[in-house]
Structure 1
């Protein structure tokens, strides 16, 4: 694993007023101060900023997955409210997320979806899979926030699986542990690997959930590695694929302006993708080369 340094030491524009990540206080009375640990960043010689971007940038957070296991200072393998296993009951997904389905080797994070039955919250699940998030740290389920930030450029280089019922995703949620707003940097339906799905989810003034977004036509994204990026700035969201802008959202009142954390997962089934069928091959894997968060200097 590359040497890990405090983020400000690695920033190329540290002489300017630093923009540090913000973490929400832990929810609930008596939960304690909930102080987040410093984010972790590995030096990137020769990499000056996000793919396709110009100007000065500082690296706020990254994981190149160069070690022999997942870095517990940066990630956990469940949603913030669970420890040894979890799922998203609200989406009626068919998988149970387990730490055993998450591995790191050869410079790659691997999230494996398997057709294997297991018991979890709410009953029996026909599939297992993997998730990593920065929503909390360690084994404390609520008191220690993980890495979160407000505004910046997030990018992930990944190889996605194809197959009906699979849903690889890279997304963001509030560090307050609320369910909205949500920013989907990347979602791909396994049966539609030629479409990149990007969305913002928010609640309007009437309480109704809105989901502006776009299904972007592409080449088969499961055929090779691609870089998925999002430039999140005050009043603006711009999505990128391989360094090229593909869609933007500029309804400023609805763009999130609070600290958010990162999630990467491989879901199976659910309301949107539907269940796998006989053509879906298991095990299926989402492979991730790196995850990076940058902020502009100045």
Structure 2
């Protein structure tokens, strides 16, 4: 999502390493990775309300809503746009005016969830943070110009880098899976690497997006098949990170929605899971 330091909206983070217990035989296992893993976080969204011990509904600069000004996005994220029903997390984008930061008017509202923290929760750490592991999300993205669905990781430090973009899909080009890694090199220069992979229309059905983050490599997968890897070990983050899922509207990359874009539209998530290697 290319979080910018000029984002300017209101913020905090929350963090607790979930206690790591021994893997159980009945626990789900990654579809993309072999070996021994232990599940350290999971949500199947089987209830009727978002579990606030696991999730918050804004960036850490939350002040009665939030957005990402660094990307010139057009939505104001609101908790009402986050819901759970029929076993799915629903992030809903609406063509709806809202008053946000510094009294600005936003023409759209949408939803975001993170395992981070809210502004009024400082200096508490993120709800869930981790260093290395495997992240797996089953999701269905919406179609339509102006939509920008994402799954990504940000550092516990509240800096804009490193950032690992597990998945980014633009609604008007949903046959392209976009993946990025943004970092700061040894000379303190900002760097980015990325890859676009042509796919079937990702908005047409459910897909499993996953990523393995190890000290010497980051590997991206779609439906259990590897699609890209970054293996420059000297650049790979060792910082604790937390997880974000959001549906942005507009911005420098996605562009403004035309009248033909359907509202309301939903970004659906069936489950989210995080494992770490069970190496004793």
Tell me the TM-score normalised to structure 2 length.
0.89
Q: 2:89 aligns with which of 93, 104, 109?
A: 109
Distance 1:212 1:257 in 2: 17
C-alpha deviation, 1:278, in angstroms: 2.0
**CA deviation vs aligned residue, 1:268-290 (integer Å, no higher than 9, x gap):** 01111111112211111100000
Q: Which residue of structure 2 aligns with residue 180 of structure 1?
A: 161
Contact 1:117 1:124 in 2 (8 A): yes
SS for the counterpart of 1:36 is coil
C-alpha deviation, 1:57, in angstroms: 1.2
Q: 1:134 to 1:40 in 2, by over 3 A?
A: farther
Distance 1:285 1:59 in 2: 28
Contact 2:27 2:39 in 1 (8 A): no
Q: Which residue of structure 1 aligns with residue 270 of structure 2?
A: 289
Structure 1 spans left out of the alignment, 5+ residues: 1-33
Q: Which residue of structure 2 aligns with residue 125 of structure 1?
A: 106
RMSD (Å), alpha carbons = 2.1
Q: 1:83 to 1:60 in 2, by over 3 A?
A: farther
Distance 1:237 1:194 in 2: 23
Distance 1:144 1:210 in 2: 27
Q: 1:135 to 1:99 in 2, by over 3 A?
A: same
More deviation in 107-116 or 74-83? 74-83
| Equivalent runs, 1:126-275 vs 2, <5 Å | 126-136=107-117, 140-275=121-256
SS for the counterpart of 1:211 is strand
Say whether residues 1:80 and 2:60 are aligned partners. yes
Q: Which residue of structure 2 aligns with residue 52 of structure 1?
A: 32
Distance 1:59 1:181 in 2: 24
Distance 2:53 2:19 in 1: 8
**Length, aligned pairs only:** 264
SS for the counterpart of 1:271 is helix
Contact 1:75 1:137 in 2 (8 A): no
- Which aligned runs of 4 or more in structure 1 are off by greater than 3 angstroms? 37-41, 43-48, 205-208
Contact 2:15 2:117 in 1 (8 A): no
Distance 1:39 1:226 in 2: 29
**CA deviation vs aligned residue, 1:140-198 (integer Å, no higher than 9, x gap):** 24434321000000010000001111000000000111111000000001110000000
Q: 1:278 aligns with which of 259, 262, 265?
A: 259
Q: 1:96 to 1:120 in 2, by over 3 A?
A: same
Contact 1:85 1:98 in 2 (8 A): yes
C-alpha deviation, 1:203, in angstroms: 2.1
Contact 1:173 1:183 in 2 (8 A): yes
Q: 1:146 to 1:224 in 2, by over 3 A?
A: same
Tell me the TM-score normalised to structure 1 length.
0.84
Distance 1:111 1:90 in 2: 21
Distance 2:63 2:100 in 1: 12
